[in-house]
Structure 1
Amino acid sequence: MEPGGARASAPQAGSCGPGGRPSALGQAFSRVLSRLSGQESRRGPAGSAALRDLGALLDATEWERLCDGGGAAAGGGPALLGAVAEALRSHAAPAAEPDGRGDESPAVAERAAAVGLLLMKLLRKAEAAKPSWALPAWRTALRPLAGPVYLFAATHRLEQPWTGPSSREAAGEVLASLLRVTECGSVAGFLRGESEDEPGSFPVILGLLQPDLDKESWKNNPATKHVFSWTLQQVTRPWLNQHLEKILPPSLLISDDYQTENKVLGVQCLHHIVLNVPAADLLQYNRAQVLYHALFNHLYLPEHGLIQAVLLCLLDLFPVLEKALQWQGGAARPTTHCEEVLQLVLTHMEPEHRILLRRTYARNLPAFVKRLGILTVRHMKRLERVILGYLEVYDGPEEEARLKILETLKLLMQYTWPRISCRLVVLLKALLKLICDVARDPNLTPEPVKNALLEEATGCLLVLDHCSQGQVQGLLARVLQSCEDKKVVDCLRKVQLSEGAPLQRDVGSVSLS
């Protein structure tokens, strides 16, 4: 059978009657799709009846006749397949509720499970017909179907308020069947294309999502943001940068929402763009500066999840922003974007009392010190205040904040060792107090965490001793004579028996990049 052929015993699906009217088959599909798209079909038995009728039509129609199209009413050719798939996807989509979170009714999951069965029926027809088609013609016929089918699967594949076990299972089966039919080994391969001469479906997916991703409509379907985010993160370099104009505005739009959940999702999209788009493309048209200011403004919101996402994104954006900065010598080094963010972070850290935010700030502080290197000397006083303040406060059983602060202190001393000797007494007192408090802690902290704290504090003492040219060992000798706590004595003896720790003395090689 030739591609696009049909049985002689049945009227052609794409043929038109007298006066150019669509065929009986085209009219039948048009009526069913019209019923399926009506508002009443989303609730009550009307939708189930329309799905049953559509299923009966699909059972009675071969793939070749579907690819012929349903006449003028359906657009002709493979457009009928796209119209059927799009109508099914829209029928299964969750509706936005007043709070913007989507319809949590089990009816949505039930509709999705039923729609999944019909989409599987279409994909099985496509797979069965493939051997009788020339490959280019078969791919052309499949293309309008693939986009809506993928969007359905992406909408219902994960646990969300609008999904249930049956709809998630149906979505998983539909996605697996789509990849099998299109001969793609993964979702990423489906989106970007499995070979250089085969275009991927990412532009098609973005085109289908585009009407739902503008300022007025992106909240109409609560699944749109999740589908866009997940789809975006499947495409990496070098394929992503050619779509930058279409993916950057929606990512900024989602990140600028008033709901923290949406802000975090948008920032994650921006982070993926920063990681997978070349610096030259981000610097063009001042895009990197736009990203920086959008992210910087989020740092004023006291939401630990958002702060974590923003700081991770900024740390990867700094090399792009500072790529063109070169210190020529003579004049003072320019203030970098990294320094601006560190100043704001330290401002927020000093008075912060909420444990989750303290941990978030402390978790990212070592990366800033590594990034700035010798330039952290500009922020020594504020860093010292923050470090001393955080070392005094118990941080819960995991002691994440104090462990990260100790890591920060060690890095700070290694990079700025010429300025450490004048702070010897203050830092030594803080470290000894911490070691004594942890060693005498009866039950609050688990033993492995205590050991980690003592080990990190001892490492800081070793670096401090090296920075002060052995003064710490002399001061500790008197402490050892009067100390009776075995754990404290063991830590101090490690310092006494050590020759110190290496320092970052190659300060001349530290650059802004």
Structure 2
Amino acid sequence: MELSGLVRALRLEEPRDEEQPPPAVPPAEQVLLQIGALFSEGPGGAPKAAVVRELGALVEAADCRWLLGGVSPAALGGLVTALSGYAAPPKQEQDAADLPSKDSAYAATAERAADVGSVFLCLLAKLEAAKSQESLGAAVVGPILRCVLGPIYIFTATHLVERPWTDTRSQAVAQQLLELLLQAAGCGSVAEFLRGKNEDEEGRFAAVMGLLKQELTKDTWKRNPATKFVFSWSLPQVSRPWLSAHLERVLPPSLLLSDDYREENKILGVHCLHHIILNVPAADLCQFNRAEVVYHALYNHLYSREAPLIQAVLLCLLDLLPILERAQRQQKQPRPTSHWQEVLQLVLTHMEAEHRLALRRVYARTLPAFVQRLGILIVRHLKRLERVILGYLEVWDGPEEEARLGVLETLQCTIQHAWPRMPCRLPVLLKALLKLMWDVHTDQGPTPEPVKAALLQGATECLILLDRCSEGQVKVLLEGVYSSCEENRVRECIRRVQEDT
């Protein structure tokens, strides 16, 4: 078979002594081992782009029996790993945000990735063709696939979506490679590839995490800027009940990401923790105090001033806190201040003094869930909660009025659960709700009509609930307002309260 200039460039050594037996390593494996050694040096050194392109031509033209029958799975796996390292983004000694622009280096990475991806496409095509050959078949192809699918998957995940080190060509090659990878593995989706087709079948997530393990330590995860994206893209593909078996592999790197000083990494880590909480049984989370560790990591983020991070943390806590509560109940521990109340107390403290609209919206959206969950125990926080509600009802927070709508929902939940404590607060709450109605009616700003209608509807519902828990006092107080009000929209709201039975 003609190997073009590639074999000659590698200068394969022949036995010097004619009496010496032929080499134990088959020619194909000898070629691939030397190529792997060449690329193990990294992207530096002698120019390798031409070698990659010739390697792609070699793999495409090679006979399946010569290429696959005369090579060990470990040799092919080593070559794939070396090529993936050659196409990886530049290693960094510090965080990417602290480095100067690397546009040229990233452009070179995208070009290398497209060339290497083309080689992998040819290799997977050969493996697919070899499955149907009698001399090869699954007995030869299966072990090779087990060695190469993991590194090829990590390469694909690195270059699949838009990143600083990708371009349209490298992304297109990665997309084709992913489709061929799933076909070679006999899977219909990435989730099926990683977790397995059923509960009894082990997927390839353990192998992938084994390859990522060295890149996901405290000292190494920032050196390769793609590692965190590969991990955070792969983790959501593995759901319940498969994820439980990998808890020890995925929890430490998720905590590591969330503990970083950069907001982007914190949010990424919190999203990973949230997926773990939703897809791992509560008993496994509570074992070895894991849930408490996650809780304290999330609780510390509540002191942040960044709205996207606070939103991710609060949503994550809403799913974690019931798990902690059940664990306390099963252990029959005495109930001091529960985690729910601890979080709500801190949230209310921050809400009361918060002036940034983005944060006010985030807090107001999640507050009803905390009130609903605490139930009657919300009475312990009524004084501060009342101040928060009154303060938020006064401030216009944008065309969508998310903060006001959230606080109105919070007030409704509070009245429903703590109704015996509401009559004494009736004058203050009634005044605030009527003022809100008037502000909405006279608003000449960009607030859409559906939003105004929702605000008036929410305020009306609050007045109806207040009237019910105060045995009709609201109807009595509104009589004079109704008779003196000339605005039809406000009168309609008051009429609905008075007609409620």
TM-score, scaled to structure 1: 0.88
Q: Which residues of structure 2 form unaligned runs of 5+?
A: 1-11
C-alpha deviation, 1:23, in angstroms? 3.8
C-alpha deviation, 1:451, in angstroms? 1.0
8 A contact 2:74–2:147 mirrored in 1: yes
* SS of aligned partner of 2:457: helix
The correspondence of residues 36-185 of structure 1 with structure 2, limited to 5 A, is: 36-41=39-44, 46-68=47-69, 70=71, 77-97=72-92, 98-100=94-96, 103-104=102-103, 105-132=106-133, 133-135=136-138, 137-185=140-188
CA distance in 2, matches of 1:443, 1:253: 45
Q: Which residues of structure 1 form unaligned runs of 5+?
A: 1-12, 71-76, 500-513
8 A contact 2:60–2:123 mirrored in 1: no
Match of 1:194 among 190, 194, 197: 197
The correspondence of residues 473-488 of structure 1 with structure 2, limited to 5 A, is: 473-488=475-490
CA distance in 1, matches of 2:22, 2:184: 38
Amino acid at match of 2:115: A
TM-score, scaled to structure 2: 0.90
C-alpha deviation, 1:353, in angstroms? 0.6
Structure-2 change in CA distance of 1:332 and 1:176 (3 Å):
closer
CA distance in 2, matches of 1:196, 1:310: 31
Match of 1:267 among 267, 270, 283: 270
C-alpha deviation, 1:134, in angstroms? 4.5
Q: Does 1:364 align with 2:360?
A: no
C-alpha deviation, 1:27, in angstroms? 3.0
Moved more, 390-399 or 441-450: 441-450
8 A contact 2:42–2:86 mirrored in 1: no
2:36 aligned residue: 33
The correspondence of residues 345-364 of structure 1 with structure 2, limited to 5 A, is: 345-364=347-366
The correspondence of residues 366-445 of structure 1 with structure 2, limited to 5 A, is: 366-445=368-447
1:450 aligned residue: 452
Match of 1:223 among 226, 230, 238: 226
C-alpha deviation, 1:139, in angstroms? 2.2
C-alpha deviation, 1:63, in angstroms? 3.5
CA distance in 2, matches of 1:190, 1:327: 37
CA distance in 1, matches of 2:427, 2:162: 55
2:6 aligned residue: none
CA distance in 1, matches of 2:217, 2:462: 52
C-alpha deviation, 1:109, in angstroms? 1.6
Match of 2:284 among 281, 301, 306: 281
1:60-116, CA deviations, whole angstroms, 9 ceiling, x for partnerless residues? Answer: 43334444454xxxxxx2112212221222122112455425954222222111111
CA distance in 1, matches of 2:422, 2:335: 22
1:74 aligned residue: none
Q: Does 1:325 align with 2:318?
A: no
C-alpha deviation, 1:193, in angstroms? 1.3
* SS of aligned partner of 2:326: coil
Structure-2 change in CA distance of 1:151 and 1:332 (3 Å):
closer
C-alpha deviation, 1:326, in angstroms? 4.0
8 A contact 2:32–2:76 mirrored in 1: no
1:358-413, CA deviations, whole angstroms, 9 ceiling, x for partnerless residues? Answer: 11111110111111111111111110010000100110111001000000000010
CA distance in 2, matches of 1:453, 1:284: 45
2:4 aligned residue: none
8 A contact 2:68–2:140 mirrored in 1: no
CA distance in 1, matches of 2:443, 2:369: 30
Among all aligned residue pairs of Structure 1 and Structure 2, give the percentage whose two residues are the same amino acid: 56
**Runs of 4 or more above 6 Å deviation:** none
C-alpha deviation, 1:40, in angstroms? 4.6
8 A contact 2:243–2:280 mirrored in 1: yes
CA distance in 2, matches of 1:269, 1:327: 27
Amino acid at match of 1:108: T
- Matched length: 476
Structure-2 change in CA distance of 1:224 and 1:492 (3 Å):
same
Moved more, 278-287 or 135-144: 135-144
8 A contact 1:35–1:41 mirrored in 2: no
Amino acid at match of 1:100: A
C-alpha deviation, 1:293, in angstroms? 0.6
* SS of aligned partner of 2:443: coil
Structure-2 change in CA distance of 1:378 and 1:220 (3 Å):
same
* SS of aligned partner of 2:47: helix
Moved more, 334-343 or 188-197: 188-197
8 A contact 1:36–1:51 mirrored in 2: no
C-alpha deviation, 1:494, in angstroms? 1.0
CA RMSD of aligned residues (A): 2.3
1:510 aligned residue: none
CA distance in 2, matches of 1:59, 1:367: 59
1:419-467, CA deviations, whole angstroms, 9 ceiling, x for partnerless residues? Answer: 1011000000000000000101123312111111111111111111111
CA distance in 2, matches of 1:56, 1:333: 70
Structure-2 change in CA distance of 1:115 and 1:422 (3 Å):
same
Structure-2 change in CA distance of 1:32 and 1:137 (3 Å):
closer
